[in-house]
Structure 1
Amino acid sequence: DGLNLSEVMMMKRKIRHLDAIKHGSSLYSLNTLSVNPLTIAVYSVLAGMSLTASADTTTQSPSTIDATLPLPNGNNRVTSFTTSPATITVTSSGVVNYPDADTNLSCSKLFVDGSNDGNSITSYGTINGSTNNQYQSNLMGAYTNLNAAVQGNVQGNNNTVTFKAGSSTKNLTVYGAQIIDDYSGNAVTASGNTVFIENGSEFLGNKMITGGYAGGNGSSTASNNKVILGSGTYSSTIYGGWAYGQTQVNISNNTVYLYGDANVSAAGIYGGETNWYINAVTLTGNTLVFGYNNTPWTPSSYTIGNVKNFSTIRFDNVVWGKTITINFFANKSTDSTVTKIDATKVAFSGVDSLSSGDSYDMLTI
């Protein structure tokens, strides 16, 4: 009792090696509009201390936002404080407003074994990122950014961020998971994560969207992640997976789906990408799919700004007679720079019957 914030932060730095607080920060509640002290038994050193507001906040899961919430700048983390996943739900009456500052809202479970898996963020309401493009407004299904060396591998798998039909989202950078360890040289993995923007949602996609992001100074893997776009207007880049690493980089089997009225005429869609093209990069098996869950892609413009690094372009459900145009195309996949076109199981909408010899150009580049 009686310690000021700087003294508390000094104590936290002294005990940072404890697994229980590797993701620790000042403890506040985002479940209400006020900022209240939160006492958690596992933080025995901090128990009973009354803290003043700072840039970093941690809230106990589950967190339900059902009114207007102005986020404080910095890292806002909802944590389960157990090995169970954490959840955030923005209800239909909930409004999250990001400030004009670099700000994160993310989930994490208690970090004891290097894993940050199975968390979920679901929005039925409104999320407004900063309209000032010099600031980052980030929403992450899982977020790990280690600032001290730890033992063991680090992963964020099977996390989801979902924007439901009827929701409204603007000026937001979204990650299914962002997992970073630039200190330990451990293997870092982001696998099986999903960003799902449902048909019927309002989404202004002028910021980056990534299914799974992994990075570190060892090996990194971003694999089997999904981005599903069913609505919205996009003018930035959508990545199935992104990874960087100093020893080995693996970006594989990520999938981007287009369906509903998603407008990507000014967007870039990448199966995977890295900014470290070292010799040990594996970039393979990434797939772009038209149609999702028996619903075709029906945008106002059947145009994509640019497409890159897909091993396969697959047609699942499309509108007969609508030619899809890709303005710019490139493929740096390491298995083959030739992209396979797969229409073996395509279902056509907008036509009752077809006769022998009926045809149209499904894709132009």
Structure 2
Amino acid sequence: MPQPIPADEQAQDQQLLDRLRPSRIVLPVLIGLSVVGFMFWRSYKPGDLAPLANAKPLWLVLMVLILLARDAGYVYRIRYLTEKVLSWRASLDVIMLWEFSSCVLPSAVGGTAVAPVLLHKEGIPLGKSVAYIMATAMLDNLYYVLAVPLVVLIGGDALYPHEALQGGLIATLRIGFVLSYVFVTVYAGLMMYAIFINPQSVKRLLVRLFSVRVLRRWRNKAYKLGNELILASGQLRGNGLVYWLRASLSTAFVWTARYLVIGCLIAAFIDVTWPEFWLIFGRNLTYKVILLIAVTPGGAGIAEGAFPTFFGKFIGTPTMTNFMVLLYRILTYYLYLVLGAIFLPRWVTRIFGKREAQKVMSS
């Protein structure tokens, strides 16, 4: 006789399915396409699309290969981070639904809120699931911490779009970039110290810090984070050098691939020099600051609106820039909405059964 599902797990399952319901696609698509449509309406000139006739097939193929390699890297990373408990198929499902949730939830929430539950439903104990996702967050943050000094060294002040923003806005962007870097560095450092050295002391620090009156409203979240760090430390500390080497290299691979896409897309239609190509790569990290504070699902509308500010100088005319915005978001955003809608019913059927899949797809 099957055991009844505990009430708290039922609530967790329902929350997961609610966050992943296909109807969530509608709002970000409407927002994103409305912004792009407005941008085209404001500046469209048919003659400005002439560079499309001179597309470079090699760069287009390279861009597609990078997109495929990035997703393959994510699948590889989650499979080996979970110590091969996930099969290749389960790893692919998890990554596709993780990307989907990142597209339909606000950027501040992202797919990280959903990912532990996805792993748990694949048969990994919830404690381990949280630990694995915290490991990915730590590695992602460490990539950013290490990459920023390199791109600053390469690009310097050109990382900021002086040609599109006036002095006051540039100063604000620079402050936001520095503050985000400091925050990510401190957060990554605390996670490393907690996981590998002393999680209890980090928990006490977080609780004391968020007991200050101004921060007290987030005290419960800080307490929860402290408990998760203790749990993650217990699960991950014993893993050897090979485990962390694979995880680190795959993280560096997927994020580098992620940041290369815009450069490849622009180079496929516009002649860019290698210094310009690497400057485009570097500007991705300042562009990310805007996306981090986006409140819309997947940064919809904000990502499209900010794109010309950061990359328009390398493209030329507003019409061509707007076309690049649309193509970029199709490849890196709308595609994952479609893939998520394809993978979701298959995954729900495999995990919950056909009846629940029908309910999800009809919601």
TM superposition score normalised by structure 2 = 0.19
Of Structure 1 and Structure 2, which has the larger fraction of its residues in strand? 1
Of Structure 1 and Structure 2, which has the larger fraction of its residues in helix? 2
